[in-house]
Amino acid sequence: MHPLIRNTPVRLSLIALTLAALFGCEPAPSTTTETAAPTTTSAAATKPWWQDAVFYQIWPRSFADSNSDGAGDFNGIKAKLPYLADLGVDALWLTPMFEAPSYHGYDFTEFYAVEQDYGTLMDFKSLVADAKAKNIRIILDLVINHISDQHVWFKQSAAGVEPYKDYFIWRKDLPTEGWGPAWDKTKTDPKAVWHYNAQRQEYYYAAFGASQPDLNLKHPDVVQEMKNMAKFWLETGVAGFRLDAVRYAIENGPGEQADTAETIAYWKDFSSYVRSLQPDVMLVGEAWADLPVAATYYGEGQALDAGFDFEFGYKVLELLQSQGGVKAEFGTMQQQTSDKGELLQANYAARASAGAPMGYFSPFLTNHDQPRLGWQLQGNQAKAKLAAAMLLSSPGSTYMYYGEEIGMTQASDAEHIQRRAPMLWQNVPQAGFTSAAKSWVESADLFPPQQGTQWWQPFLQSQLNKKLTVAEQQTDAKSLWSLYKYLIGQKHQRPEFGVAGTYQATPLADGKLLQIVRELNGSRSVLLLNLSDEAQEIPETILKDRKLQPGWIETEASDQLPAWQVRTWQN
């Protein structure tokens, strides 16, 4: 959501102007004991398609380059569909893929045209069709809260041209008090959200910076335009949307810049409309807040279908390192503390009492707006395996960030661009991401004000030297990638891993062990995680239970679990 602006002219397509006028690699060998897939129950057969699904978040610019221009694209993603199907994912979340002046795309200049760097609309539709053929759905990142200041709507609004004059929120004077960052009520700084426009000689509201003005979602024409956009993309075959910054749709003044009643009402209306077009559409909201706040966007079943559990990733990191996860940047997290051994159970209890069904909450580790999990764990692959076990044993629709399955890290956290670097596919130049001499992260002139590009090659070589690519991990039956594939398979095959299954995360051995038990109708899975630097005795209750059969075993079976390892059993 940062305004890193490309220093080339804005590319406005004719279609946008017209519509504005009209509408205003090989799998690893198995290391596990095969278990038969339990019979699907009638309840499971009728549940929403996204319930208990595994979503894979892709940053299109960094996933795979098909035409050797150094930037990822739709055809690159399409070429990797066999990989994604083999891994076992059910759906892809593509971060913004509409035309935009920035590298990140969260500042659209178009609603109906794809980012030219990614290909054509036909390329995109082909990707959707090929993904569907492999039973993989695609959801798009939809930004409704704000658009680019280079969008034709904002230019017309700044000029006072009807009907665009009030498409944004304007005022004649800069407020002197009360206003501040939308996600932090403790800070007062009107200039953080109110920005002067010399042409109109007024101030406009933009929660995410001057280049991304907030739309006036009280204006009936704007409300309809957003519905038109959703309809257009649903007709291309997408299965739903990840809705960006849902907390900030409608602000009512100081202290009411987030989570207003009008905002909830807006999402209820939007949801009702898209469901009238496509009953099985899925809407997941980015409400970067504590669970009770995030739950309000369920709207008693009338608003969103799902919301991210931002708390979960912080709890996982707290268990794996002393300081916990990096704090929220675009959200409001109170980071409630509890006994360290009880963190995951407390998180589960918080979901249960937050005011939305358990299936509403979607756990994840990190995303594009956060430092990569691998970086926060200092590249420790053993700890990354424990994080994977915690993630995929947690109830709900699971989200993975691309590269998380191989423990991708980053050079530093000096710039957000480093959180979104190219995927590491194989041990060749540019890691197989592109056949071009340079990848897009090495183009400082394309996306200023990037501070430098020299970080990429040293970082890339260090990762290749450590053999952390997809191809190399696929040949290692004990790799992080192999564990992810195994756990995704368990989530699909074992009914207890669904929302309906019970969940119990229990600290043992003074918190050095964590036992996670999932159970449903007699089908039971046990995961044991060693959260310490020393081997720990496996509890007798597990060893003497003859019904439990070993699943994932990383080292030779014994009565001890080595440091920072996970072992699983199923009946």
- Domains detected in the chain: 14-28+49-147+219-488 (3.20.20.80), 152-205 (3.90.400.10), 502-570 (2.60.40.1180)
The pLDDT tens digits of the residues spanning 540-564 come to: 999 999 999 999 999 987 899 999 9
Question: What was the pLDDT predicted at 338?
Answer: 58
pLDDT at 507 over 50: yes
Question: pLDDT band at 446, cuts 50/70/90?
Answer: confident
pLDDT at 23 over 50: no
CA distance 225 to 24: 7
- Contact indicator for 101, 6 with CB cutoff of 8 Å: yes
pLDDT at 526 over 50: yes
- Contact indicator for 485, 87 with CB cutoff of 8 Å: yes
Question: What was the pLDDT predicted at 5?
Answer: 36
- Contact indicator for 195, 210 with CB cutoff of 8 Å: yes
CA distance 124 to 202: 40
pLDDT at 176 over 90: no
Question: What was the pLDDT predicted at 7?
Answer: 37
The pLDDT tens digits of the residues spanning 295-348 come to: 999 999 999 999 999 999 999 999 998 666 666 676 776 655 556 779 999 999
Strands (E), 378-484: 398-401
CA distance 73 to 79: 10
Residue bearing tokens 């907390």: 247
% of the chain beyond a pLDDT of 70: 89
CA distance 499 to 98: 34
Question: What was the pLDDT predicted at 451?
Answer: 82
Helix (H, G, I), strand (E, B) or coil at 83: helix
Measured at the alpha carbon of residue 209, what is the angle toward residues 206 and 211, in degrees to the nearest 5?
A: 90
Provide the CB-side half-sphere exposure for 161 (13 A, CA): 11
Provide the CB-side half-sphere exposure for 204 (13 A, CA): 30
Active-site residue numbers? Answer: 244, 286
- Model confidence, pTM: 0.91
Residue 523 bridge partners (DSSP): 520
Q: At how many degrees (to 10) do helices 261-277 and 220-234 cross?
A: 40
pLDDT at 523 over 50: yes
Q: Which two tokens stand for residue 204?
A: 């406009």
**Amino acid in the structure at residue 330:** F
